[in-house]
Homo-oligomer: A and B are copies of this chain.
Amino acid sequence: MLPPNPTTAPHGGEAWREDVALERIADLLGASLLSTGPTGWGDDAAVLERPKGRVLLCCDAGVEGVHLDASLFPIADLGYRTAIAALSDVAAMGGRPLGVVVSICAPGDVDVVAIEQGVAAACATVGCTVVGGDLSKAAITSVTACALGEEPLQGAIPRSGARPGDVLSVTGALGGAAMGLRRRRAGMGLEDPELRWFRRPRARIDAGVAAARAGATAMLDISDGLARDLRRMAAASGVGIDLDDVPLCDGASLDEGLGGGEDYELVVAHRDAGALAAAFESASLEAPTRIGTVTDLVGEVRYGGAPAPDLGWRH
């Protein structure tokens, strides 16, 4: 936790400079974090209230040059998108986030406060806060967000529970992140709304909770592209998947919808698509779109009757 172990003494510490950055971060995140006694910023670990159920723990990394092209996007986006990736993993289990800690490794001239602002902004979209973290010097910038979540009362929804005959549905529309990246690379202005799917993805916490409440049999979030993530669900569940529809964001191509990744929508398997839709409706959420069915052809993911393309590799 901040401040321990940033750039440690045996290696040429710059811990005091880190302490200054930490003070700015604590200011940014608000005095509330500092007024909670032994918890949060400035101590060894954050203290969080005891959860009602079992806990969910996950982490995701974002790396400059891999997950973010710093010549095209502000560095704060790396913080935002990495935090959403971790929060989305909580959503994919049907849980609610309790808090996030973030580790930032960056060269001395990188605006780590901006990265932290990105993380905090992402957390705020799901009513969660950044409770601590760590700063380290590094030759390139990377961010790891670790999210703590609360398991749903119905139990976490694994990706391994899909059974032949289940209906597969997806929240929202796909391909928006890949489309946004493509448009930015082609010169679209940074503030164009079409880039929002890439720059400001959503973690579908409420949808995950609704799916768990409705009795979903399996769920995962689309982080690496629909086709690839469905292969993972099929492998984990020991089933096959027949895909017959892919809801696309306006302007996204089918390839982007099938293979784009980073959409962070949820794929839900359920015995009864009507019951799932009803649960979403009662939670005032847009109904998920039916995209296919679960089959007994173990490991086979088909689209339109043929093997689904192995998209994701080619981007």
Contact = CB atoms under 8 A, between A and B. Distances in A.
Interface of A: 1, 3-13, 15-16, 37-39, 42-63, 65-67, 85, 88-90, 92-93, 95, 98-99, 101-105, 131-134, 136-140, 142, 144, 146-149, 151, 155-161, 177-178, 181, 198, 220-221, 223-225, 228-229, 232, 236, 259-262, 311-313, 315
B50 A93 contact: no
A9 B228 contact: yes
A131 B60 CA distance: 14
A37 B151 CA distance: 14
A57 B63 contact: no
Contacts of A15: 224, 228, 312
A136 B59 contact: no
A101 B100 CA distance: 13
B59 A101 contact: yes
Given A47-B93, A142-B105, A224-B5, A158 B60 contact: no
B103 A61 contact: yes
Contact of A95 (B37, B45, B62): B45
Nearest to A50: B54
Given A4-B85, A10-B262, A85-B4, A59 B132 contact: yes
A138 B78 CA distance: 14
Given A45-B90, A92-B44, A155-B38, A146 B311 contact: no
B46 A58 contact: yes
A309 to B, nearest CB: 12
Given A59-B102, A138-B66, A38 B157 contact: yes
B134 A144 contact: yes
B224 A59 contact: no
Contacts of A198: 10
Contacts of A58: 1, 44-46, 101, 132, 134
Contacts of A90: 44-45
Nearest to A90: B45
Nearest to A232: B3
A301 B122 CA distance: 40
A66 B146 contact: no
A224 B259 CA distance: 45
Given A47-B93, A60-B4, A139-B65, A224 B9 contact: yes
Contacts of A7: 66-67
- With a 10 A CB-CB cut-off, give which of A11, A92, A225, A315 has the most chain B CB atoms: A11
A85 B9 CA distance: 14
Contacts of A47: 54-56, 93, 151, 156
A3 B235 CA distance: 13
A268 to B, nearest CB: 13
Given A45-B58, A57-B101, A132-B57, A146 B149 contact: no
